[in-house]
Amino acid sequence: MIAMKELEEEIKGCRRCDLWKTRTNPVVGEGTLSARVMFIGEAPGYYEDLKGKPFIGKAGKVLDALLESVGWERSEVYIANVLKCRPPENRNPTMAELKSCTPYLDTQLAIIEPTVIATLGNFSLGYIFDNFGLKKAKISKIHGKVFKLSTVAGIKKVIPLYHPAVATYNPGMKETLIADFKVLSTC
């Protein structure tokens, strides 16, 4: 199996879509490779692109506070995104970009083998639910619910969460995110 370091090198040289032309750095992911819980966001934003690290801008501050609310450190989880390169002006990923980039996420999932996958936002929810054959529904209906999967590697769990950025433009959503993280912490 390919190691994370090799994957990082491959992603640095990736030309599968055009996003490499406008990005500064790809953002592969961060955290421990033995994480039980893996968070999957959408795509790098401005600061992530500058530094090559996931969730270090405004949404990252919210994510840090949510992790802290359940007593977790970033170093004990793994954080990645569906897209590894920033789309210009943080526009939504295209179908073609998702198709090109998600094999990298599949490899990360195979390397880390998390027991719990926490999706952050709609693109992550869409990809993970399709990938694991789960029936998609609106995030407003299924956030904070735990979906169990029986796999050859044992029981896995998927928990859809709102994207932490929602709390930056709708502060009331922070309570919902905190409640959902409480559920996540018991998975």
Residues that bind ligand URA (CB under 6 A): 27, 41-45, 48, 54-55, 57, 59, 81, 121
Q: Which residue, 17 or 59, has its beta carbon nearer to ligand URA?
A: 59
The size of the chain, in residues, is 187
**To the nearest whole angstrom, how small is the minimum distance from the Cβ of residue 43 to ligand URA?**
6
> How many CB atoms are closer than 10 A to CB 149?
14
Q: Which residue, 27 or 142, has its beta carbon nearer to ligand URA?
A: 27
**To the nearest whole angstrom, how small is the minimum distance from the Cβ of residue 11 to ligand URA?**
14
Q: Which residue, 30 or 113, has its beta carbon nearer to ligand URA?
A: 30
**To the nearest whole angstrom, how small is the minimum distance from the Cβ of residue 153 to ligand URA?**
26
Q: Which residue has the tokens 């968070």?
A: 39
**To the nearest whole angstrom, how small is the minimum distance from the Cβ of residue 75 to ligand URA?**
17
Closest-approach residue to ligand URA (CB): 41
| The two three-digit tokens of residue 50, written as one number | 């500058």
Q: Which residue, 10 or 30, has its beta carbon nearer to ligand URA?
A: 30
